[in-house]
Amino acid sequence: MVLTCVLIGFVALAAIASCRWVLTRVDALGRIAPFPRISVGLSLVAALACAVPLVLHAQLESKLAGAASEVVGAPVQVHCQTIGEAFVDVGAELGYVRWGADGVPEKKTLIKSHVCGDLRAWLRSSKAAPSLDQVVAVHVLTHEAMHMAGITNEAAAECAAMQRDQTTAVLLGASPAEGLALARRYWTEVYPNMPDGYRGECNPGVAIAGG
């Protein structure tokens, strides 16, 4: 949001400098002033510098939403928290889906800024040797997808997500073997250390019952 405002500001600056030149380029003696190339050029370069991260952010969200929609089986939205939003955020969770009094989760999720950063790093990597943070980031997307699919119980969402981490990873570009390795690492290295509310009996039958 801040970046969007700064981008608009620089485009406006370039437009104002150009308009001023059009209106005042001929002086009283009929001489034509040179176009303010430097100020307009610098404003446009600054605007472009703001636009690039905005475009990359939107591309990442769209890619994650595409995979999550496949996993959920319905169109869903993924919002990656911006750095500005992270600055005022005090919550410890890695992502969330809201649901109201009717108990039906929304079809949109917020993924925390650093988790989206790990997802971006993983997407750009060979995916052969992900860091544990990257493994967790892929799982967070699957976990929130399970909430968006209608599961509100944390242990059930966690259980169902672990059975779909491979699918999410493959939808995002991993090979089936890389996806399976990632899912196994979450199961063996992260899940045992999750808080009690996130753990419970978990096997394919339980996941189906919970979902």
Binding site for Zn ion (CB under 5 A): 154, 157
Tell me how far, at minimum, the Cβ of 19 lies from Zn ion, in Å: 52
Give the residue with the Cβ less far from Zn ion, 154 or 178. Answer: 154
Distance CA 174, CA 114 (A): 21
Question: Residue 69: how many CB atoms within 10 A of its CB?
Answer: 18
Which residues, including other chains, have CB under 8 Å from residue 13's CB and lie 6 or more apart? 39, 43
Q: Which position has the token pair 């600054």?
A: 46
Tell me how far, at minimum, the Cβ of 149 lies from Zn ion, in Å: 12
Give the residue with the Cβ less far from Zn ion, 154 or 165. Answer: 154
Tell me how far, at minimum, the Cβ of 22 lies from Zn ion, in Å: 56
Tell me how far, at minimum, the Cβ of 157 lies from Zn ion, in Å: 5
Give the residue with the Cβ less far from Zn ion, 50 or 76. Answer: 76
Tell me how far, at minimum, the Cβ of 143 lies from Zn ion, in Å: 5
User: How far from chain centre, in Å, is Cα 162?
Assistant: 20
Q: Do 66 and 74 form a contact (C-beta atoms < 8 A)?
A: no
Which residues, including other chains, have CB under 8 Å from residue 10's CB and lie 6 or more apart? 43, 44, 46, 47, 50
Give the residue with the Cβ less far from Zn ion, 40 or 94. Answer: 94
Give the residue with the Cβ less far from Zn ion, 14 or 67. Answer: 67
